[in-house]
């Protein structure tokens, strides 16, 4: 796996957990929310690969339910471990934010 894809998966993992803080969601709804935030589509199936990984790590759990249209739907919930995972990344996220703000400030200063 190349570094860019690994970094994207890490960021998407954190975004998934953050979205589940507001309540349980099915995979398609998670994918839609994240695609809206990144203003683009995720690679096909990526969200489900990441959800499966987060489930193995104990950060999310899923329940299968029948939808109104009698389709089997997987609903994902954040776990206490998932909340701890998110909190444990606060320092790294603040550092990344500071670095990104610095880069964007330089771009605005030098090129606009």
pLDDT digit string, tens, across residues 63-86: 998 878 888 889 999 999 999 999
3-state SS class at 25: strand
Average pLDDT value for the chain: 90
> DSSP 3-state assignment of 54?
helix
Identify the CATH assignment for 3-111 out of 3.40.50.970, 3.60.40.10, 1.10.10.10, 1.10.3720.10.
1.10.10.10
pTM of the model: 0.84
The pLDDT tens digits for 95-112 are: 999 999 999 999 998 887
pLDDT at residue 1 greater than cutoff 60: no
CA distance to 21, 29, 59, 99, per residue, from 95 (Å): 22, 29, 23, 6
Residue 49 — very low, low, confident or very high, per pLDDT cuts 50/70/90? very high
Other Cβ atoms within 10 Å of 101 Cβ, number: 10
Domain residue ranges of the chain, discontinuous segments joined by +: 3-111
Task: Extract long-range pairs of 90-97: CB within 8 Å, 24+ residues apart.
Answer: 93/14
Query: What was the pLDDT predicted at 103?
Result: 93
């Amino acid at each position: 796996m190349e570094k860019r894809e690994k970094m994207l998966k890490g960021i998407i993992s954190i975004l998934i957990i953050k979205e589940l803080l507001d309540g349980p969601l099915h995979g398609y709804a998670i994918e839609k929310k994240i695609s809206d935030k990144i203003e683009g589509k995720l690679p096909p199936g990526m969200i489900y690969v990441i959800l499966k990984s987060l489930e193995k790590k104990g950060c999310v759990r899923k329940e299968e339910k029948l939808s109104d249209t009698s389709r089997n739907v997987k609903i994902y919930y954040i776990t206490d471990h998932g909340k701890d995972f998110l909190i444990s990344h606060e320092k790294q996220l603040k550092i990344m934010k500071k670095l990104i703000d610095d880069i964007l400030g330089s771009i605005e200063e030098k090129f606009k």
